[in-house]
Structure 1
Amino acid sequence: MDTSFDLRGVTPSGLAASGLYLPPSVPFRAKLEELVQAQHGTVSRRQLADCGVTDRQIFRCLRSGRWRRVHVGVYATFTGPLTFSARVWAALLRAGRGAVASHQTAAYLDGVCDEPGTIIHVTVPAGRHVRGRIEDVRVHYAHRLGRTRHPARSPPRTRVEETVLDLVDVAARPRDVESWVTRACQRRLSNPERLAEALGLRKKIRWRPLLESMLSDVAEGAESPLELRHLRHVERAHGLPRGHRQRRVAGNRVIWIDVDYDEYALRVELDGRVGHVEEGRFRDRRRDNAATVGGHATLRYGHAELFADPCGVAAEQARVLAARGWAGTLGRCGPDCAAFP
């Protein structure tokens, strides 16, 4: 993740060494230094004027190359490339009063996603309009911004639950909806209850039926798109017994089981890329070996099986369950169910 332009602890005499420059004769220099530090080296023309910086001083700083214009009326007061945090602050200052980071930008700031994207997303109150095009910035408008804005985080941004719902609202595919919801919950940044509460306060949102159903399933323990796929298209669709999801098993090492059919001594592991490469592979082996020693069988599936052949997965799982005492019957997910060739 991006390393912010951090000026905390920098004394006035050390400002030049940090790459930041302020005009020497400023009536409210201490106030300006504090403001620029908080905004990761960026400042607006209005803020400069409030601190006593004249247009002539701004022009000199720009002409000398010590400053540069990022957007109309917004300046970077340091040399070197703009960090992500500086770009966000510059976009917020250009968007003006009440603007907050939102959508993928806010998601990146809060750790919901690992890529910031090429566009900075900001949301402003619907009661006003941002004039002109802002390069590499997309402006959204919201009536509920006073409620959805996080009260304390810097740069200003939407609350995590609102960020997720904003991203769901613009998602193109159901799988994208699943990814945003499960990622926020899996990373312990939110939970189904808080997301459901935020959803209930929205009058309009795309994918509402899917989202309501998904939040119910995530509340049952499904923490990833793979786990949701298994729950809906393998277990539930084919009438298999209900497994315990994300079960914690303590021993010499604490392990987590994706889906545990403890009554039948069967464990199902769902392998996405994250967590199952390099050292993750060794953890998987230790877990599978420990399960075998304890009398458990382990079935392991990835994206290819669960998305391309959920019926085949259900049929295989049903055979293992039946061999271990399950007296139920495999059901059809539909008239063309591939579990019954």
Structure 2
Amino acid sequence: MFLGVEERSEDRGSFAELRGWQAGAFSRAQAVAHGITDKVLLGRRRARQLQRVHRGVYVDFTGPLPWETRMWAAWLACGPEAALTGPTALRRYGVAGNWRDERIHVALPHSRRVDPKSGVIVTRHRNLSSLVQASREPPTVRLEVALLITAAAGEDVSRRAAVLFDACRQRRTTPSRLLAELDSLPELPGRRILQRILAEADEGVQSFLEQAYLRRVERAHGLPRARRQVRAVDEGVVVYRDSEYPPYDVIVELDGQAGHLDSASRWRDMTRDNAAATSGKLTLRFGYQLVSEPCLAASQVAAALQFRGWPGTPCPCSPTCSLAR
């Protein structure tokens, strides 16, 4: 029964099961296939027993629409050839992140056109079918495709890097898989920037702060190349060092503010540093100040490396660099 109306359908499953699977959303075509007429739909709308979301798409309740219902409604409105993409796809995949965009992002084949829909962002792609994880319902572009599209739309380089670094740090994908998928998106804007970010991720960089250290401290000042994300065992617990210079037993740890404000995190960091010290290793720890003062950080790292036997000399990154004085 649908709001007192008998369903008739030869399809598998009842109309109630279909609506439940689609978070309450359904299309007119689905309703008709189950024996629900336009007259019934109109009557139920007038009785405020359901509401129309888009043309030909309804939900079987009134009131605010949850995100999942809006997602299904957008896909139904765009048609079966559509696929979820961008931040919407990442939310469906369960990728942790600050997906502030509440709009539903839907991809269509390049030849398709649809009328504008409230709260829906539509993009068109050539060869969309080759980008889709068809086994998912509703169809969704592959995880790597969604990550690259979302990163490319970032308002600045740091946001683009954060999207890709965070997914790799969560072990949801790898830089090599993302680089390979980038070849399937030849028209994606900012490809060169994304390639550079992924090349750094492939070296072990996992955050914007680590990227800033690599570019603005290590490379810019001619410091030796560190190993990234070095696995170590501390009292039986596996830890990963952000950057380590093995020949000189110097470790550089980078603390993003979000993860190191609480006392438990600070105590864990001190315990890790102390364990490194007892094994003869020197730990330098930096926060976001290295973004604004990379030359000072470079001079401190260079001094530690030289103290431990590095025969090199850091080079100034510019005429105003403190190392040039």
TM-score greater than 0.5 by the shorter chain: yes
Secondary structure of the structure 1 residue equivalent to 2:140: coil
Match of 2:61 among 52, 58, 78: 78
Q: Which amino acid letter does the alignment assign opposite residue 282 of structure 2?
A: A
Question: What is the DSSP-based 3-state SS (H/G/I as helix, E as strand, rest coil) of the residue aligned with 2:298?
Answer: helix
- 1:185 and 2:168 equivalent? yes
Q: Tell me which residue corresponds to 1:56.
A: 39
**What secondary structure sits across from 2:229 in the alignment?**
strand
CA RMSD in angstroms, aligned pairs only:
2.0
Could you say which residue in structure 2 is the equivalent of 1:311? 295
Counterparts of 1:1-341 in structure 2, within 5 Å, are 22-28=3-9, 30-79=13-62, 81-110=64-93, 111-131=95-115, 133-252=116-235, 253-278=237-262, 279-303=264-288, 305-341=289-325
Deviation sequence 1:160-186 (CA, Å, 0-9, x none): 111122123323322222112211211
CA–CA distance in structure 1, aligned partners of residues 272 and 4 of structure 2: 62
Contact 1:108 1:114 in 2 (8 A): no
SS at match of 2:49: coil
State the shift of 1:218 in Å.
0.9
Q: TM-score, normalised by structure 1?
A: 0.87
Can you list the C-alpha shifts for 1:200-243, whole angstroms capped at 9, x where unaligned? 22222222222222222111111111111111221122111111
CA deviation vs aligned residue, 1:59-102 (integer Å, no higher than 9, x gap): 23222322112222211113553221111111111122311221
Q: 1:166 to 1:23 in 2, by over 3 A?
A: farther
The 8 Å contact of residues 88 and 155 in structure 1, kept in 2 or not, is answered as no
8 Å Cα contact 2:51-2:60 kept in structure 1:
yes
SS at match of 1:248: strand
Q: 5+ residue gaps in structure 2?
A: none
1:119-177 Cα deviation digits (max 9, x unpaired): 1111111111002x211111111112101111222332211111122123323322222
Letter matched to residue 220 of structure 1? E
2:108–2:125: 8 Å Cα contact kept in structure 1?
Answer: yes
Q: What is the rounded CA distance, in whole Å, between the counterparts of 2:132 and 2:3 in structure 1? A: 31
Q: Which moved more, 1:85-94 or 1:249-258?
A: 249-258
TM-score scaled by length of structure 2: 0.91
Instruction: Output the CA distance in 2 between the equivalents of 1:281 and 1:325.
Output: 30
- Aligned identity (percent) is 36
Contact in 2 for aligned 1:226/1:272 (Cα 8 Å):
yes
SS of the aligned residue for 2:314 comes to coil
Question: Which structure 1 residue ranges, 5 or more long, are not aligned?
Answer: 1-11, 13-20
Aligned length: 320
Q: 1:66 to 1:241 in 2, by over 3 A?
A: same
